[in-house]
Structure 1
Amino acid sequence: MPEGHSVHRIARQFALHFVGHRVAVSSPQGRFAAGASELDGREMTDARAVGKQLFLEFDHSTWLCVHLGLYGAWDFAGDITADATVASANGRMGQTNQRGTILDEDAAEDSIASIGAPRRTRLRMAEQEKLEAPIESFPPEPIGAVRVRLLTDDAVADLRGPTKCVVQSPEEVEATLAKLGPDPLVDDPAEGEARFLSVVRKKPTPIGLLLMDQNVVSGIGNVYRAELLFRARLDPHIPGKDLPEETIRALWRDWTHLLEVGVKTGQMLTMDDLDPEAYRKALAHRDDRHWVYHRAGLPCRICGTNILMEEMGGRKLYWCPKDQG
């Protein structure tokens, strides 16, 4: 499932190529025909991500709300701008099973807006990001079961397999947002930290579950959970209410840092202070990118103890029993 950095990058792609444009909306698959009819012909006026959810506003009055879930993906095509890290990858990027990329020395742009001229191509954005072959005609024919197609004069976005895809009023969007925990890239930093602290310190729930609870904090998934806990040297089973205040604040600040890195690089890069060669390896391969995630049975990078894997909250949790014991 895409974690917060991926959805923020998708929102930025919409902001760059769709906001300010009138959009033809259709449902090639047919399952979203009524919603598509309601949005068709309107101008997209905003694109924002909060945690794992995407909100696209039309005519300042109606929103398309999308949660990709486990299988959802957006395919962009046309005169779109690809992120430098995607353009140099020639393969999957962004999250769990990606092959990654090796950047040129001067290819460390901060965002999709900083790369050069757009190219008429196809880009998939989901759990991984994949730059595909250039398209021969525009718009390309829909591929597969496309729930929603958003089309402008120059760009098209096709949505497949989402868990959630609904039209909402501003009031309904506010109700949805009210249920979500703070997002470091959306909330005021101090207010977000205070909200996170207030909730965690009251909960008897293990911190390893709280970090995955989107009502507590937005955007953290299985990879970031494991890495945040290791970076803090925290036992995943400690109840939130038993954590010192400064530890909780430090978790929020570290999540802010890692989310910013993820949006910038397109990678869930959780190891800091890497030398240039190690940085290139980390961007290229997941095995060189994380402290504990997906390393069950392998020695801890710090102490050499074998990394454990257990089920927590229905997902695999990786942790070091010595450094986090």
Structure 2
Amino acid sequence: MPEGHTLHRLARRHRALFGGRPVAVSSPQGRFAAGAAAVDGMVLKKAEAHGKHLFHHYAPDRIVHVHLGLYGTFEEAPHPVQEPRGQVRMRMVGETAYADLRGATACELLSTAEVRAIRARLGPDPLRRDADPEKAWVRISRSKAPIATLLMDQSVVAGVGNVYRAETLFRHRLDPQMPGSALAREQWDALWADLVALMRDGVRRGRIDTVEKEHDPRLQGRPARKDRHGGEVYVYRRAGLPCLVCGTPIAHTEHAGRNLFWCPTCQPEYR
């Protein structure tokens, strides 16, 4: 599933391509036909993201909400506009380019109140200027759930997915199974600051890079990582491979239905 930086990149891209101008919106597939007709030809006033949710604001009660889920994608192309290929849920056509949405979990027309209700259920997003990390800290500090669970709970922190979870816990040498209530305030402050920095870098690069310069593959004499997620990472999807810091094989287990990766040496068991 795309992590928060991907949605913020999309919002930024859509502002550049379509913002401030009328947009032709349609639903070649038909599943979003009524919603598309309601905003077709209107000016896109704002595109923003909160966590893994994307919002296109056309008018106070005409906001298109998109959640990509596991399989959703936006594909862009310059004019001329081509005939739709496959199941296109929503097509946006601007002055110079168009974008097709496929496979999204949600694509719906909402009111301002409905968008406000979605955002109220979400935790602070490290990529938003209005984020309040104190809100997340209150939830974490009072919970006995593992920190690995809490970081993936979108009502606690919005936008963090499996990659950012695994990598930030490694970078701060935290046991994924450590209870949230055992986390010190200074540890949380450092973790939040790191999420902000890493995710902002993800928005700029379009990939997730988490390794420090001294662990760059070119300096360590090892091949660069090849993965559809891109970027150089410490533990994510590196099960059985040596830790880039200490050489211990990276461990892997299933945690709450998702894959969890960590280094047993660098992230010693919490006691």
Structure 2-normalised TM-score? 0.92
Q: Give the superposition deviation at 1:141.
A: 1.2
Matched, 1:185 2:130: no
Aligned ranges for residues 261-276 of structure 1 at < 5 Å? 261-274=201-214
The answer as to whether partners of 2:67 and 2:104 remain within 8 angstroms in 1 is yes
| Cα deviations by residue, 1:74-131 (Å, 9 ceiling, x for unpaired) | 01111xxxxxxxxxxxxxxxxxxxxxxxxxxxxxxxxxxxxxxxxx6xxxxxxxxxxx
The answer as to whether partners of 1:183 and 1:218 remain within 8 angstroms in 2 is yes
Quick one: distance in 2 between partners of 1:214 and 1:310? 21
Query: Which residue of structure 2 lines up, in the alignment, with residue 251 of structure 1?
Result: 191
The change in CA–CA distance for 1:288 and 1:217 in structure 2 (over 3 A counts) is closer
Task: Please give the root-mean-square deviation of Cα atoms over the aligned residues, in Å.
Answer: 2.0
Q: Give the superposition deviation at 1:324.
A: 0.6
Quick one: distance in 1 between partners of 2:89 and 2:255? 32
Instruction: Specify the SS of the correspondent of 1:262.
Output: helix
Query: Which residue of structure 2 lines up, in the alignment, with residue 117 of structure 1?
Result: none
Tell me which amino acid in the other structure corresponds to 1:173.
V
Quick one: distance in 1 between partners of 2:51 and 2:223? 24
Query: Which residue of structure 1 lines up, in the alignment, with residue 91 of structure 2?
Result: 149
The answer as to whether partners of 1:282 and 1:288 remain within 8 angstroms in 2 is no
Quick one: distance in 2 between partners of 1:49 and 1:282? 35
Quick one: distance in 2 between partners of 1:323 and 1:213? 24
The answer as to whether partners of 2:4 and 2:160 remain within 8 angstroms in 1 is yes
> Which 5+ residue runs of structure 2 have no aligned equivalent?
none
Q: Give the superposition deviation at 1:187.
A: 3.6
Matched, 1:218 2:158: yes
Aligned ranges for residues 110-125 of structure 1 at < 5 Å? none
Q: Give the superposition deviation at 1:17.
A: 0.9
Quick one: distance in 2 between partners of 1:246 and 1:213? 21
The answer as to whether partners of 1:268 and 1:289 remain within 8 angstroms in 2 is yes
Tell me which amino acid in the other structure corresponds to 1:49.
A
The answer as to whether partners of 2:27 and 2:36 remain within 8 angstroms in 1 is yes
Structure 1 stretches of 4+ moved >3 Å: 274-279, 281-288
Matched, 1:6 2:1: no
Instruction: Specify the SS of the correspondent of 1:6.
Output: helix
Q: 2:237 aligns with which of 287, 291, 294?
A: 294
The answer as to whether partners of 2:246 and 2:265 remain within 8 angstroms in 1 is yes
Matched, 1:68 2:10: no
The answer as to whether partners of 1:51 and 1:218 remain within 8 angstroms in 2 is yes
Q: 2:260 aligns with which of 289, 313, 317?
A: 317
| Cα deviations by residue, 1:253-280 (Å, 9 ceiling, x for unpaired) | 110010011011111001123569559x
The answer as to whether partners of 2:217 and 2:224 remain within 8 angstroms in 1 is no
Instruction: Specify the SS of the correspondent of 2:132.
Output: helix
Q: Quick one: percent identity of the two aligned structures?
A: 48
The change in CA–CA distance for 1:11 and 1:282 in structure 2 (over 3 A counts) is farther
| Cα deviations by residue, 1:163-206 (Å, 9 ceiling, x for unpaired) | 11111101111111111111122143xx6221121111011110
Q: Give the superposition deviation at 1:282.
A: 8.9
Instruction: Specify the SS of the correspondent of 2:160.
Output: coil
Query: Which residue of structure 1 lines up, in the alignment, with residue 52 of structure 2?
Result: 52
The change in CA–CA distance for 1:61 and 1:19 in structure 2 (over 3 A counts) is farther
Greater RCO, 1 or 2 (C-alpha within 8 Å, sep 6+): 1
The answer as to whether partners of 2:46 and 2:57 remain within 8 angstroms in 1 is yes
The answer as to whether partners of 1:35 and 1:166 remain within 8 angstroms in 2 is yes
* Higher mean C-alpha deviation, range 62-71 or range 33-42: 33-42
Question: What is the total number of aligned residue pairs between the two structures?
Answer: 264
> Which 5+ residue runs of structure 1 have no aligned equivalent?
79-119, 121-137
Tell me which amino acid in the other structure corresponds to 2:193.
R
Matched, 1:260 2:200: yes
Q: Give the superposition deviation at 1:210.
A: 0.6
The answer as to whether partners of 2:147 and 2:176 remain within 8 angstroms in 1 is yes
Q: Give the superposition deviation at 1:284.
A: 6.9
Q: Give the superposition deviation at 1:304.
A: 1.4
Query: Which residue of structure 2 lines up, in the alignment, with residue 194 of structure 1?
Result: 134
Query: Which residue of structure 2 lines up, in the alignment, with residue 37 of structure 1?
Result: 37
